[in-house]
Structure 1
Amino acid sequence: MSTNQASLKGVYPILATPFTETGEVDEQSLRELVRFQLAAKVDGIALFGNASEMYTLLERERELIAGIVVDEVKGRVPLVFGSGHTGLEGAVQLSKWAQKAGADALMVLPPYMVKPDGKRMIEYFGAIAKAVDVPIMLQDAPIASGVSIPVPAMAKLAKEYENIAYVKVEAPPTTVKITEVIEQSEGRLTVFGGLNGMYYYEELCRGAVGTMPACEFPDVCVQIYQLFVSGDKDAARALFYRYLPFIRIGTIAGFAMAVHKEVLKAGGVIRSAYVRNPNAPIDDILRSEAFETLKGLDPLVLNWKR
């Protein structure tokens, strides 16, 4: 998919990385998880995001995961690979690898150990843009990374590099920043919402073209999106508000990854809810609180067992 052809919109869940109870990548669960996304009619799939626990993955595991996902998807939907790094050279190398491994677009965090100044940030994203041919999505996720990408820097990058074409806005309040990005980039940047879809409906109203949430409720996100774009905003809003307590509990700092995985495990999509350090497993109280938010709801995940 060349820069000119790529047009990402809709629901792009961030694929979790299923592990076995001993902490290895669980290939069978990963394949089932991809099938679950495709059954939910997602518009695309993102991997190696924060919800993939990408910061815990070894190089050989990235290669294994990419191979499995590409094999399962077989070109049916676009794939977005996260390729941010703590430094410019690492990000360039990872981005080049991702393009070769099957990425249709890249989602790139700014450097997140030493916080870059404006000049360093522009150089970092510019170097990546020059190194690959696929579209680049700037990932503005200051809660996770500690680094906020200023809107004027986004606009400058979009003006200077044709393939810097998307932004995933996760800086609260996401709604306000989405409007700023669209206005200041003069339409050059297409915006997705993040933060697990916490402000999904409002983001769509502000001009976002989709969302990139965690991956246990893709069917719900797809339904909200389809209702919205078909013009039935009232039904889209009602469905979003019905699921909002569940969406919110999937953002609890330190435990969010375990919440996503417990729900996927309960539905038989993955076999284990194991999370890697520094994420923490959830206790029985938090687990029951999470499932309480699903009472009276009927997401695909809870009907997946065959």
Structure 2
Amino acid sequence: MKQRLKGSIAPVVTPFKSNYEIDFEAHSRLIEYQIENGSHGISVTGTSGEPSSLTTEERIQVMEHAYKTINGRVPFVPATGSTNHQETLRLTKVAQEIGADAAMVIVPYYNKPNQQALYNHFKTVANSVDIPIIVYNIPGRTGVNLEVKTLARLTEDCPNIIGVKESNKDFEHVNRVLLYCGRDFNLYSGIELLCYPMLAIGGAGSISATSNVEPAKVAELHDAWEEGDLERARNLHFELMKLNDVLFKDTNPAPAKYALGLMGKIEPVLRPPMGLPSAELQEEIRQTLIEYGKIPETVK
């Protein structure tokens, strides 16, 4: 399973209609877009999926819908964590019940638990299911960093914790993850500009929001690395950089959703309190999509 869960795992956005209801038809189209363009796996209800804007029941509906749409064609890794311990347990158990290949569990956000509390939380979640767990460390949005020694304790005590998505700009930290958790531990980049560098130290792949807009090139970067074509991988790293930058000039997934709206994939709707990017950034996104060949110049 560790090997099967490598590559570009696309964290698909949750599309909404203009009345803020979930647009499941658009969700199916987004999943098909990812699979057709070579993404190696699908994740839903992670950061890009606006989980804090969804009720628990809606998160379950999105997970179930994604599982049925994927139909076993690629691995399915729903995100099941939240700031609430019992909700995390419930969602992770549901992920197992519906047939997910693994569950991604975020460091609880806002409440800023200490390292022992984080250890207790993740150990309880991991022990509640049999499927693999991928820990999700994103200190810029959670307010607390899961320290490497805490993660190493968890991997030693919980065999089904098989990887971590590190949305952590501290590259020294991510190097030490593999040093202390083992070189066979699945390390995924959640920082777009570190997708290529993490492969160089032995990373398993990426869970990159940019793949919502440009799935083929994000997946191709990993494929090129696996094939030993380092020049092509490096070229794709730099080719994607401008798109990566513009998609993170506002809080994810607002720029990605606006881009997907221009591309005709979804209605560019976020649930409040989230909102669309400024008019200036919208125009910059439009120009970038034109440059990347994602939309014609006539699209406004």
Q: Same fold (TM over 0.5)?
A: yes
Taking the aligned partners of 1:162 and 1:30, their CA distance within structure 2 comes to 33
Say whether 1:243 aligns with 2:262: no
| Partners of 1:167 and 1:191 within 8 A in 2 | yes
What does residue 45 of structure 2 align with? 48
Percent identity over the alignment is 27
Deviations 1:116-164 (A, max 9, x none): 1122111100101110011001111001111210000111100111001
The answer on 1:205 being equivalent to 2:200 is: yes
User: 2:133 and 2:101 mapped to 1: Cα distance?
Assistant: 9
Q: Are the counterparts in 2 of residues 14 and 212 from structure 1 also a CA contact under 8 Å?
A: yes
Q: Distance in 1 between matches of 2:53 and 2:163?
A: 26
Question: Secondary structure of the residue that 1:51 maps to in structure 2?
Answer: helix
Match of 1:32 in 2: 29
Whole-angstrom distance in 1 between the partners of 2:23 and 2:42: 18
Q: Could you say what secondary structure the match of 1:207 adopts?
A: coil
Among 123, 135, 160, the alignment partner of 2:132 is 135
Query: Is residue 257 of structure 1 aligned with residue 253 of structure 2?
Result: yes
1:159-199 CA deviation, whole Å, 9 max, x = no partner? 111001101111112x322211000113352100003x222
* Structure 1 counterpart of 2:183: 187
Q: Give the Cα separation in 1 of the matches to 2:147 and 2:100.
A: 26
Match of 2:282 among 255, 262, 287: 287
CA–CA separation in structure 2 for the residues paired with 1:66 and 1:6: 23
What is the number of equivalent residue pairs in this alignment?
A: 294
Post-superposition Cα deviations, 1:250-301, rounded to whole Å, max 9, x if no partner, equal 12243x322101221222222x1001122221233211111223343235x8
Give 1:60's aligned amino acid: E
Q: Normalising by the residue count of structure 1, what TM-score does the alignment of the two structures yield?
A: 0.91
The equivalent of 1:166 in structure 2 is 163
TM-score (norm 2): 0.92
User: Is the 1:79–1:104 Cα contact (8 Å) retained in structure 2?
Assistant: yes
Q: Say whether 1:276 aligns with 2:281.
A: no
Runs of 4+, deviation exceeding 4 Å: none
Distance 1:137 1:285 in 2: 37
Instruction: Tell me the amino acid that sits aligned with residue 123 of structure 1.
Output: N
Distance 1:225 1:260, change over 3 A: same
**Matches of 2:65 and 2:14 in 1, distance apart?**
12
**Residue 218 of structure 2 is aligned to residue 226 of structure 1:** no
Gaps of 5+ in 1: none
1:81 aligns with: 78
What's the C-alpha RMSD, in Å, of the aligned pairs?
1.7
Q: Distance in 1 between matches of 2:66 and 2:109?
A: 27
Residue in 2 that maps onto 1:12? 9
Structure 2 SS opposite 1:171: coil
The aligned amino acid for 1:92 is L
Distance 2:88 2:245 in 1: 31
Aligned equivalent of 1:298: 293
